[in-house]
Structure 1
Amino acid sequence: MKKILLTVLLACFILSGCQNKNEEPGVVARVNGKPIYLTQLEYKYDLSHEGNGEFVPSVAQVREEYGQILGDLIVQELVSQELEQRNIPVSAKELKDAENEVRSDYPDDSFEQILIEEYIDINQWRSQLKYQLVMNKFYHDVLRPEIKIDYKVAENYYRTHLSDFYMPAGFRFVMVKGLSKDLVLKGVKLYREGFSPAEISAKLREVSVREIWIRSGQIPAGWKALVDPLEVGEATSVITQKNEFLCLILKESKKATLLTPLQAYPAVEKVLLEKMLEEKFEAWLKDKIATSEIKISKELLPEKENNDHKNSPIEAAKAQ
């Protein structure tokens, strides 16, 4: 993505001219005539530095970060316009549903309260949420249908990346841990009776039950003698460890295996799909930039670019 944003910014620098004296205040860029405002840059910049109250960046750092953020906003605007042209824009209902889903994680009016405490403008937040939906929709509805993963490509990837599909030998244990030996034994008894880890923790509040995976050769020295003789379903005696006690129940013992092509296909497909989507997006973006008018404020150009522009013969003539 950094490579893509750099492409966008370079294109912007080429297309940028003198700032129009009649330009609307607060506009830092235009994408096919549509404005991008300084408030949008400031919002994303503030979010990226949330919690860094003592950090005081240099002017050069701020300029660089604003340039990166602007590149991101330009890409989002181009994608948004593409969806509009295809008559599949993010609808008001889709935006509202997404907002309600976020709000559902917060009780009562705590969502608004958090925004107030973090000095986040609700309209800016909604705008950013919409752009996230825009990007997701573009990838899912526009780029994804154009991609077909040939089985020969998938098979070739599998064969050239076999080490990625090698599953090492290891053991899966249920670990029952508590503050006393008796509590641990009670926890083991409840587990064998079919109680879930959550139910056991509810009954025995000082006992935790969870699954752990340990590769062969990585079992702690203090456990090895107790674990080696276990058959699936058997448990170790209670192990004393610092100020706590634990018991291990062997749930699964796996030998080292190499996933078959069929077993590995979901993982192969995911890797190839991500790569192909990125390539598709980059190709689309380059074509879109070539046919779009993108202008940015000269104040956001890199220092050298800005100085070259000021010192150009044309600018010198205009100044006279």
Structure 2
Amino acid sequence: MKKILIAVLLGCFLLSGCQNKSEDPGIIARVNGKPIYLAQLEYKYDLTHEGNGGFVPSVEQVRAEYGQILGDLIVQELVSQELEEREIPVSDKEMKEAEDEVRSDYPDDSFEQILIEEYIDINAWRSQLKYQLAMDKFYSDILRPEIKIDYKEAEQYYRTHLSDFYMPAGFRFVMIKGLSKDLVLKGVELYREGLSPAAISAKLRKVSVQEIWIRSGQVPAGWKTFVENLEAGEATSVITQKKEFLCLILKEKKKATLLTPLQAYPMVEKVLLEKMLQEKFEAWLKNKMATSKIKISKDLLPEIENSGPDTDPQEAAKVE
């Protein structure tokens, strides 16, 4: 995907020129006349660097990441426009259902509270949600129906990648971790009641819940006595680990096995489908770029080494 975005930005290089003085300063690009705003770019950049503490990137790093994110936004906008042209855009109903699904993981008004604490603008969040829904719809409604996976191709893939379908013995746990024993026990109680990991973390802000897989023979020494006699569905007592506490709930205990072709087919199909979808998408994007008019701010263009005022733009665009 990274190569696609580089190609997008290099294609834009040919189409861009001096920015119109009457242009809104908040607009950093136009895709077939539709604006992309600096606020959209900054929102995605901030999400990428959430939790990075006091790290201060160099100007070159910021510029490179801005270019990458802008390429992503341009592709998303092209996809949204394709859905509009085919008269199957993301509807208000689909947006509401998707937002309600996200909100359902957060009790009471904790969703809004988290947005406030993380300085996330709700409109920027909804804009990115709509782009994501558009990408999902494009793949499922436009690209996927064009792909057929031949059983012989799947069988050949299985036989040439047998090692991928050897499942080692191991344990699948739900790990509930927090800064106090009582918080961890409360997290276990909420998990037993059916709350999702996100809902538990929202309700108990100092508790994290995640699923982990550990191979047999790789269980940490400090956990062995706690997990050796567990049965599926049972939980360990609270384990003290440095300055934190955790509890493990055994979801599954697996023996080593080699999946049969029939058992492996869903995995094979997923791999082949992803490969074919990517190829279809790249072909579509190449054609779409050839017929689209895209302009971006000069400040966000990829830097082309040794490109002075006399450099031929066609030659500059070939630089990778």
Alignment TM-score, normalising by the size of structure 1: 0.70
Q: Give 1:299's aligned residue.
A: 299
The CA distance in 2 between the partners of 1:44 and 1:30, in whole Å, is 18
Q: Give 1:83's aligned residue.
A: 83
The CA distance in 1 between the partners of 2:104 and 2:262, in whole Å, is 39
Deviation of the 1:45 alpha carbon:
1.2
Q: Give 1:69's aligned residue.
A: 69
The alignment partner of 1:105 has SS state of: coil
Q: Give 1:99's aligned residue.
A: 99
Deviation of the 1:302 alpha carbon:
2.9
Letter in structure 2 aligned against 1:51: G
Letter in structure 2 aligned against 1:78: L
Deviation of the 1:289 alpha carbon:
0.5
Letter in structure 2 aligned against 1:166: Y
- Contact 2:10–2:302 (8 Å) recurs in 1: no
Q: Give 1:20's aligned residue.
A: 20
Q: Give 2:188's aligned residue.
A: none
Deviation of the 1:214 alpha carbon:
5.6
Q: Give 1:58's aligned residue.
A: 58
Q: Deviations over 1:34-79 (max 9, x none)?
A: 1101111111112212223412222211111110110000000000
The CA distance in 1 between the partners of 2:261 and 2:269, in whole Å, is 11
Letter in structure 1 aligned against 2:126: R
Alignment TM-score, normalising by the size of structure 2: 0.70
Structure 1 51/151 Cα, relative in aligned 2: closer, same or farther at 3 Å?
same
> How high is the sequence identity, in percent, across the aligned residues?
76
Q: Deviations over 1:179-200 (max 9, x none)?
A: xxxxxxxxxxxxxxxxxx969x
- Contact 2:170–2:214 (8 Å) recurs in 1: yes
- 2:60 matched to 1:38? no
The 5 Å alignment of 1:1-320 reads 1-168=1-168, 170=169, 215=216, 254=255, 257-304=257-304, 308=307, 311-312=309-310
The alignment partner of 2:28 has SS state of: strand
The CA distance in 2 between the partners of 1:16 and 1:173, in whole Å, is 52
Q: Give 2:196's aligned residue.
A: none
Q: Give 1:186's aligned residue.
A: none
Report how many residues are paired: 258
- Contact 2:26–2:37 (8 Å) recurs in 1: yes
The alignment partner of 1:36 has SS state of: strand
Deviation of the 1:90 alpha carbon:
0.3
The alignment partner of 1:28 has SS state of: strand
Deviation of the 1:294 alpha carbon:
0.9
Q: Give 1:317's aligned residue.
A: none
RMSD: 3.6
The alignment partner of 2:65 has SS state of: helix
